[in-house]
Amino acid sequence: MIFFFNTPQPHGGPGSFHERLVNYLKLYYIDYTYDLLPTSDIKSALIINGTNRFAAAILLKLTKKRLVFRVDGRSFSSCSAHSLAFALRALYFDLSTIFFLTLSDHIVFQSDFIKSQWDFLSFLFERKYSVIYNPTPSNISQYQRVNNDSCSDLNLVSIEGSLQGTFADKFFNCYPSYSHLVQIGDISNGNLRNRISQINNVTSLGRMPRDHVLELLVNNKWIYICLEDNPPCPNSVIEALWAGNPIVGLSEGSLPLIVGNAGILLSPAIRYATTKDFIQTITSALDTIKNNYDLYSDSARQRAKLFDPSLVFKSYLSLLQPSS
């Protein structure tokens, strides 16, 4: 029996991963539970990106249950531009991560980049870690519409606030040659949110159910824009590749190892470029993909096979059930 500390969240990367893992367990009739007691039924537990249930984790450790911790990137190191309240939450998250790094029997980093963020504490996990990237969805046909008239125009799409970086203002000068920009997910920056709402060919759909996002990706021609600073392991990029959407982003964080030849990654130095140079650089990348869209789209689908869910979840099960 595998124990989860929380039920899957309806939004965000951790919830998406958790839901897909649970579906995989159901498919193979593998027992799991959200009930801590009785602990005698539990063989192992998976902590997904952290939990507030410290006492439960300690109890499982004391009763010799196997704890596997799926680690997210560091929060406090990237919060200098945010409020004090945000910084305190980030500090709490990082300190709780250190607690679980110490307590757990095995650590799973979602990308090599995330591992590099925690390497200063490698003495806590050097003999008990794996790097397992996030999985794609499993069945593309369930999201495909039979009568689809919306695939003819090439659009740009940004998911989960990835235009909130330091050069979002510059980006909105680049897209007029494309039919539309769609932004999905919450935008915490109120000024940016207001500007987006006033631009004619930009649509901000806000937070959407996960299945609706996947249906949107699968049934339209997109170039996916990821302008986050050092993205740790964005599910949205992996999902975009799976749907055949090429990527334009920055060559930093986990993107080089995720994207490969399925898009164009630009030097992070462009965030410091003038607006004119930024527009020229990113528009050139967009135009290159636009003129070779089928080639890049095929590369995206091929790249997505690296994140096959059956391979990913078999790796997790080998850690959660090491003797089976």
pLDDT digits (tens, 9 = 90+) for 148-204: 554 457 788 888 767 766 677 777 776 666 668 888 887 777 777 787 777 777 888
- Per-residue model confidence (pLDDT) at position 251: 95
3 with 60: CB under 8 angstroms?
yes
pLDDT for 238-259, tens place per residue? 999 999 999 999 999 999 999 9
All domains of the chain, ordered by start, with CATH? 2-135+308-320 (3.40.50.2000), 140-306 (3.40.50.2000)
Q: Which long-range contacts (CB under 8 A, 24 or more apart) does 252-260 make?
A: 253/111, 253/113, 253/228, 253/229, 254/110, 254/111, 254/112, 254/113, 254/114, 254/133, 255/226, 255/231, 257/111, 257/112, 257/113, 258/111, 258/133, 258/233, 258/234, 258/303, 259/303, 260/299, 260/303
Compute the C-alpha angle 237/266/292, nearest 5°: 70
For the full predicted model, state whether its pTM sits above 0.75.
yes
Q: How far apart are CA 106 and CA 199, in angstroms?
A: 48
What's residue 148's pLDDT? 52
Sequence-distant (6+) residues with CB within 8 A of 259 are: 237, 241, 247, 249, 265, 303
CA neighbor of 233 nearest in space, from 49, 52, 7, 24: 49
Q: How far apart are CA 18 and CA 54, in angstroms?
A: 19
Using CB atoms within 10 A of its CB, is residue 306 exposed (0-12), middle (13-18) or buried (19+)?
Answer: middle
Q: What is the pLDDT at residue 154?
A: 77
Spatial contact of 167 and 278, defined as CB atoms under 8 Å apart:
yes
CA distance linking residue 192 with residue 185, whole number of Å: 13
